[in-house]
């Protein structure tokens, strides 16, 4: 990952490959954002005009390169768009605008050794946002690039290495709040990027057992307790949902429990993640065109894993338990069939009408397992339904809950960290569509409102009286389009920052 430093140095004397500055959209054209005063001065105060001549407007996502002025040690100035200039000059720039701009610059500077970021900094919040933007924007996944015979040249052959070092100007290296904001950004983004790696890993390598093994290595470093239930233990425990879904694959399922507890913890949060390492649909097989990206179906579990490790690294005064429901959904002679009835861990029976509605089956067992500890709240994260993508598009996740105030709190936490989210209802009338002739409930209901039907199914497996929210991240978990802002192509690490924020708010006593 990119190494970050805080620097009070002045831009002209900095030895770097580039100086990154901000340009905002003003009423009469682009305006140079605070932080770039030295660069503007060296352009005789005419930088805004120069940028306009080069076609810059200050729009979000825009990037303009220009030669550094005479006397600068760095050869290049990279101007990134910040969007609309804040109405009030003292208001400062929105954290998400800084995060995106820093991400765009970091992405454009891949292959460079060092860049100085001279973006507007008005406090630790801005430092954290710029740090996150750099670390997330510089991400690349090249573990599988370059043949073994050419391993040493892999980077050179297949693309540029990520930006090696970023100095954040305006950051105060001796200021505790600035240092703290940077340390938080590093901890959260290292774990978030690890979640992206897991999502991007091909499913022939990331089996449920391999995923479980990886969590053990990482957890040991950070004082997290890991318990893995393998297929034998799942049979013994009666986890019919996870076993049913995993039964068609040669790679057997797992349920992983990650426990982090600060000695001063007063509240207990449980995170539950859908971890389908590959979703072929099973006997209700997905058609070609719908299965190429289904390695991403473990994004919820990856997010939960990353969030628990980040909470531990940040030493949050809270108890966080992560549950990863890991299985591969494959068709075979031992696969669950449409028409089968599964006896779930909760004791309820489920008629499987469509084996492609598998996420809710593994989550049901994990939600019930999480409920047995009676946590203060449960949040599950899942790439659960195509219907949620139809409703909210590819960048926004849906939030459902059995408690209106909690749903609002989760939605606000998401918006606060820069993750677009939207509240969705759980209409009671949709429950009867899942009535089954033979079992307590079916895993399919009405077609319309499919994302809400899935939420209603999950609600049945949350322990009585426990506050619960469900994040359907089917849209934002995997970016099939080009990179934008600090979001790369492929695995995005969706929901990690929201979960970490929820753990922080709980630790501070501001949630529930
Ligand atoms: N993993 C899919 C949902 C999904 C679709 C995630 C596209 C990401 C991108 C899930 O298991 C699934 O197949 N859901 C079905 C449910 C249906 C059979 C009730 C769906 O949404 O079509
Ligand atoms: Mn499916
Ligand atoms: Zn799935």
- Centroid of ligand 1 to alpha carbon of 356 (angstroms): 7
Catalytic residue among 145, 261, 286, 459: 286
- For residue 265, the model assigns a pLDDT of 98
Residues 403-448 pLDDT 10s: 999 999 999 999 999 999 999 999 999 999 999 999 999 999 999 9
Express the helix, strand and coil content of the chain in percent, nearest 5 each.
35, 20, 40
Q: Give the residues across from 19 on adjacent strands.
A: 77, 116
CA of 187 to the centre of ligand 3 (A): 29
Mean pLDDT, residues 304-317 taken together: 98
Q: Which of 224, 192, 193, 230 is nearest to 211 (CA)?
A: 230
CA of 117 relative to ligand 2 center, distance in Å: 43
Active site residue 295: no
* Overall average pLDDT of the 166-174 stretch: 96
In 85-159, beta strands by DSSP E: 114-118
First to last CA, the chain: 35
Q: Count of H helices and E strands in the chain?
A: 15, 20
Pocket lining: 354 vs ligand 1, CB cutoff 6 Å? yes
Residue nearest to ligand 1 atom 17, measured at CA = 357
CA of 177 relative to ligand 3 center, distance in Å: 42
Whether 460 lines ligand 1, by a CB cut-off of 6 Å, is: no
The C-alpha atoms of residue 397 and residue 285 are separated, in whole angstroms, by 25
The number of angstroms, rounded, from the C-alpha of 392 to the middle of its chain's C-alpha atoms is 17
pTM of the model: 0.97
pLDDT of residue 156: 47
| Atom nearest to 359 CA in ligand 1 | 11
pLDDT of residue 151: 53
CA distance 215 to 210: 9
Ligand 1 pocket check for 385: Cβ under 6 Å: yes
Residue 393: pLDDT above 90?
A: yes
- Which CATH class, in words, describes the domain spanning 3-174? alpha beta
Q: Which residues contact 103 (CB under 8 A, 6 or more apart)?
A: 133, 134, 136, 137, 485, 486, 487
Averaged pLDDT score across all residues of the chain? 96
| Nearest Cα residue to atom 5 of ligand 1 | 386
* Domain spans, the chain: 3-174, 240-508
The arrangement of secondary structure in 240-508, i.e. its CATH architecture, is 3-Layer(aba) Sandwich (3.40)
Smallest-distance ligand from the CA of 352: 1
Q: Is 315 exposed, middle or buried (0-12, 13-18, 19+ CB in 10 A)?
A: middle
């Amino acid at each position: 990952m990119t190494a970050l430093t805080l620097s009070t140095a002045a831009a002209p004397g900095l030895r770097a490959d580039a100086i990154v500055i901000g340009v905002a959209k003003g009423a009469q054209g682009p305006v140079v954002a605070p932080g770039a005063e030295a660069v503007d001065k060296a352009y005789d105060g005419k930088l805004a005009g120069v940028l306009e001549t080069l076609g810059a407007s200050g729009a979000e996502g825009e990037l303009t390169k220009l030669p550094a002025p005479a006397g600068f040690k760095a050869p290049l100035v990279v101007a990134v768009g910040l969007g609309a200039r804040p109405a009030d000059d003292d208001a400062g720039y929105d954290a998400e605008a800084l995060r995106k701009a820093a991400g765009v610059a970091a992405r454009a500077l891949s292959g460079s050794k060092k860049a100085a970021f001279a973006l507007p900094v008005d406090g630790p919040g801005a430092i954290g946002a710029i740090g996150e933007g750099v670390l997330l924007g510089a991400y690349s996944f090249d573990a599988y690039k370059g043949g073994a015979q050419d391993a040493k040249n892999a980077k050179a052959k297949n693309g540029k290495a990520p930006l090696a070092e970023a100095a954040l100007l305006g950051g105060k290296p001796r200021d505790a709040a600035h240092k703290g904001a940077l340390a938080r950004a590093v901890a959260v983004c290292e774990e978030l990027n690890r979640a992206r790696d897991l999502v991007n890993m091909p499913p022939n390598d990331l089996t449920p057992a391999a995923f479980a093994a990886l969590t053990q290595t990482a957890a040991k470093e950070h004082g997290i307790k890991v318990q893995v239930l393998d297929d034998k233990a799942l049979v013994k425990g009666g986890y019919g949902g996870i076993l049913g879904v995993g039964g068609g694959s040669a790679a057997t399922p797992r349920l992983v429990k990650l426990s982090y507890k600060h000695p001063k913890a007063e509240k207990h949060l449980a995170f539950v993640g859908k971890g389908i390492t590959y979703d072929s649909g099973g006997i209700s097989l997905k058609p070609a065109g719908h299965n190429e990206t289904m390695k991403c179906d473990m994004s919820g579990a990856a997010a939960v894993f990353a969030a628990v490790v980040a909470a531990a690294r940040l030493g949050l005064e809270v108890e966080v338990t992560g549950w990863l429901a890991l299985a591969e959904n494959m068709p075979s002679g031992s696969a669950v069939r449409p028409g089968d009835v599964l006896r779930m861990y909760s004791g309820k029976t489920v008629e499987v009408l469509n084996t492609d509605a598998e996420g809710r089956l593994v989550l049901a067992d994990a939600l019930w397992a999480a409920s047995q500890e009676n946590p203060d709240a449960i949040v599950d994260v899942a790439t659960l339904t195509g219907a949620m993508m139809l409703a909210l598009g590819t960048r926004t996740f849906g939030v459902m809950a059995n408690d209106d105030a909690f749903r609002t709190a989760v939605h606000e936490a998401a918006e606060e960290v820069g993750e677009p989210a939207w509240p969705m209802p759980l209409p009671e009338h949709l429950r009867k569509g899942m009535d089954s002739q033979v079992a307590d409930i079916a895993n399919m209901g009405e077609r319309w409102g499919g994302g809400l039907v899935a939420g209603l199914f999950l609600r049945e497996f949350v322990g009585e009286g426990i506050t619960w929210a469900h994040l359907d991240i089917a849209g934002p978990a995997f970016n099939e389009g080009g990179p934008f802002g600090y979001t790369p192509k492929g695995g995005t690490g969706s929901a990690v920052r929201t979960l970490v924020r929820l753990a922080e708010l709980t630790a501070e006593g501001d949630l529930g």
